[in-house]
């Protein structure tokens, strides 16, 4: 288990920090990288290529970087659309491509895409975000088919609403209660619980690839 390296994009976020702590606690990695945008800008292909050029090995990539920009569809500009797609989908494509080149040389590796329930049941005003996150699910399925023979796994997790984060902290109480009511358990997930699931997926579910895991109690018929 020595000399194993994990990389979490969007390293400044609450979920990224929870992921880093969970991976460190697992004792399976000698190095856990969680760069912020200043080190790894997923909207910038050159930044991605430069960052990955400094890596000689990568065992786990978690494409966690993301952004939202909710707008009515007819008020969304091309630049608005591009920003959300570039961060959530194009960045995951570019990082995955660089990671797979390393993982092919190793003959092993794991990529986890951090998706969203909005890919399955988006609210109004999230056409850009929903399209990007739905694209991540398609990317997961296609990549898993393509790279499985080289012992590289690709999975996707949908963390859902995360308690005590920027995602939920500033929402009005009425919105919080309405959102919780959509969960059969009446509660949100936590960053720590989501991070623990990803750690378990990486360490124990080694025969699993090409899957999408919804990490809350909302019901959705696929």
In tens, the pLDDT along 30-45 reads 999 999 999 999 999 9
- The residues with which 112 forms a beta bridge, in sequence order, are 62, 155
Query: Using an 8 Å Cβ cutoff, are 95 and 67 in contact?
Result: no
Instruction: Assign domain 5-206 to its CATH superfamily.
Output: NAD(P)-binding Rossmann-like Domain (3.40.50.720)
129 is catalytic: yes
Q: Averaged over 11-28, what is the pLDDT?
A: 96
Q: pLDDT-derived band of residue 170, with 50, 70 and 90 as boundaries?
A: confident
Give yes or no for residue 18 having a pLDDT over 60. yes
Q: Averaged over 199-205, what is the pLDDT?
A: 97
For the entire predicted model, the pTM comes to 0.94
Compute the mean pLDDT over every residue in the chain, rounded to the nearest whole number.
94
Per-residue pLDDT at 204: 96
Domain coordinates of the chain in residue numbers? Answer: 5-206
Q: In what order do the strands lie in the sheet with 109-114?
A: 31-33, 5-8, 60-63, 109-114, 152-158, 212-214
49: part of which helix (H) or strand (E)? helix 45-53
Question: Considering 117, 129, 161, 188, which one is annotated as catalytic?
Answer: 129
Q: Is 23 helix (H, G, I), strand (E, B) or coil?
A: helix
Instruction: Express as a percent the part of the chain with pLDDT over 90.
Output: 84
Q: Where are the beta strands (DSSP E) in the chain?
A: 5-8, 31-33, 60-63, 109-114, 152-158, 212-214
């Amino acid at each position: 288990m020595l000399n194993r390296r994990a990389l979490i994009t969007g390293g400044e976020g609450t979920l990224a920090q929870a992921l880093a702590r969970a991976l460190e606690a697992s004792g399976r990695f000698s190095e856990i990288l969680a760069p912020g945008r200043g080190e790894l800008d997923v909207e910038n292909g050159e930044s991605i290529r430069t960052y990955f050029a400094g890596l000689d090995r990568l065992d786990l990539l978690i494409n966690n970087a993301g952004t939202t920009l909710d707008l009515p569809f007819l008020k969304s500009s091309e630049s608005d659309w591009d920003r959300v797609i570039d961060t959530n989908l194009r960045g995951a494509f570019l990082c995955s491509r660089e990671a797979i080149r390393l993982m092919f040389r190793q003959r092993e590796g794991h990529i986890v895409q951090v998706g969203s329930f909005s890919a399955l049941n988006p609210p109004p005003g999230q056409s850009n975000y929903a399209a990007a996150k739905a694209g991540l699910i398609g990317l997961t399925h296609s990549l898993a088919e393509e790279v499985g023979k080289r012992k590289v796994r690709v999975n996707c997790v949908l963390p859902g609403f995360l308690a005590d984060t920027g995602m939920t902290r500033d929402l009005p109480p009425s919105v919080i209660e309405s959102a919780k009511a959509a969960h059969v358990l009446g509660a949100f997930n936590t960053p720590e619980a989501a991070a623990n699931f990803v750690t378990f997926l990486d360490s124990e579910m080694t025969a699993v690839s090409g899957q999408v895991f919804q990490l809350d109690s909302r019901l959705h018929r696929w």
